[in-house]
Amino acid sequence: MLRCLERRLAKWISPRAMLEELGPKLNRTPDLETMPFDLPVHGDLQFEDLAGLFASTPLDHAVVFMTIRQTAYLFGLVRRMDARNVLEIGRYKGGSTFAIAAAMRGQGQFWSVDLGEKEARLKKDSAPAYDNQIRDICKRFGLRVNMLVGDARTIQIETGELDLVFIDGDHSYDGVKNDFQRFGRRVRLGGAVLFDDAVPGGLFEAHTDTVGRLVREIEAEGEFRLVKSVNRLAHMERAMPRRK
């Protein structure tokens, strides 16, 4: 029944356009400043402390746009890898940024790159800028994040070898390929590169012809292997040393 409804909707409207039009109205004011913490937080943040990032319907994305499964996977992977050098491309409201920072427990170096275009286009209320909210909540919990505003095509960042790179910025083929070539290839042997919106799933169409295409090309090269797909998230691991 749901799949039939999805097919009928797709014929008449673009789900992504509907989300951008209705989302801000349905979401009202969810952001990091208003995010609830239902349980008292003692010591390191646990995943259950991040429940306020989420909502329960496809149109109400709250603070983070990934599903609970995707975010739990990202959080758990960062923590289980004991990742100490992490880079994120694309942060918008900062849901994934906060989740990664919480998983790192304030240790190591975490760089987050965002152009700021989506906030300028979609944010309609008078709440503090999202980057200010991220700084405030990270300071509150003793977390560290180097927030950089700039274009991932040209920004210069001295990161050295990375443990994990999360790519969720420009979803065009050229854009995501640039992000991988410039930053994803910096991960160490056994390190992880995660691509959002690479795999089909749910009401909203994934970018299988751009992000998914790149994932397939990277896998075919053999230097990285596809570990797992979680909803729309693709996890790739460096399986071979960098080519000289």
Residue found by looking up tokens 């991040």 in the block: 50
Q: Comparing 121 with 238, which gets the higher pLDDT?
A: 238
Most confident residue range from 8-12, 14-18, 220-224: 220-224
88 bridge partner residues: 112, 166
Q: Across the chain, what does the average pLDDT equal?
A: 87
Neighbour order of strands in the sheet with 162-167: 146-149, 109-114, 85-89, 162-167, 187-195, 233-238, 224-230
Longest dimension (CA), the chain: 53
Give percent above pLDDT 70 in the chain.
83
Counting Cα atoms < 13 Å in the Cβ hemisphere of 184 gives 26
Name the nearest CA neighbour of 45 among 107, 112, 110, 103.
Answer: 103
pLDDT grade for 125, boundaries at 50, 70 and 90? confident
- The whole-angstrom separation of Cα 90 and Cα 130 is 12
Mean pLDDT on 45-68:
77
Percent of all residues in the chain with a pLDDT value above 90, rounded to a whole number: 64
Under the banding of pLDDT at 50, 70 and 90, the label for residue 142 is: very high
- pLDDT band of residue 16 (cuts 50, 70, 90) is low
**pLDDT confidence bin for 26, thresholds 50/70/90:** low
Confidence band for 37, pLDDT divided at 50, 70 and 90: confident
Under 8 Å between Cβ of 218 and 235: no
Instruction: Please state the domain extents for the chain.
Output: 65-238
Q: What is the mean pLDDT of residues 76-80?
A: 93
Residues 196/227, Cβ–Cβ less than 8 Å:
no
**Could you tell me which of 93, 75, 89, 79 has the C-alpha nearest to residue 35?**
93
Are 158 and 83 contacting, i.e. CB atoms less than 8 angstroms apart? no
What is the pLDDT, as a whole number, of residue 158? 97
Quote the pLDDT of residue 61: 62
64 — pLDDT class (breaks 50, 70, 90): confident
Phi, psi of 66 (to 5 degrees): -85, 160
- How confident is the model at residue 244, as a pLDDT? 65
Question: So what's the pLDDT on residue 48?
Answer: 85
Strands 146-149 and 162-167, bridge-based pairing: unpaired
pLDDT at 35: 83
- What are the helix (H) ranges across the chain? 2-12, 15-27, 68-81, 95-104, 117-122, 130-140, 173-182, 211-221
Tell me what the mean pLDDT of segment 106-128 comes to.
93
| pLDDT (0 to 100) of residue 196 | 96
pLDDT at 99: 96
Which residues does 46 contact at the CB level (< 8 Å), separation at least 6?
Answer: none
Beta-carbon contacts of residue 28 (< 8 Å; ≥ 6 apart): none
Q: State the average pLDDT over residues 137-159.
A: 97
Topology (CATH) of 65-238: Rossmann fold (3.40.50)
Within 10 angstroms of residue 156's Cβ, the number of other Cβ atoms is 7
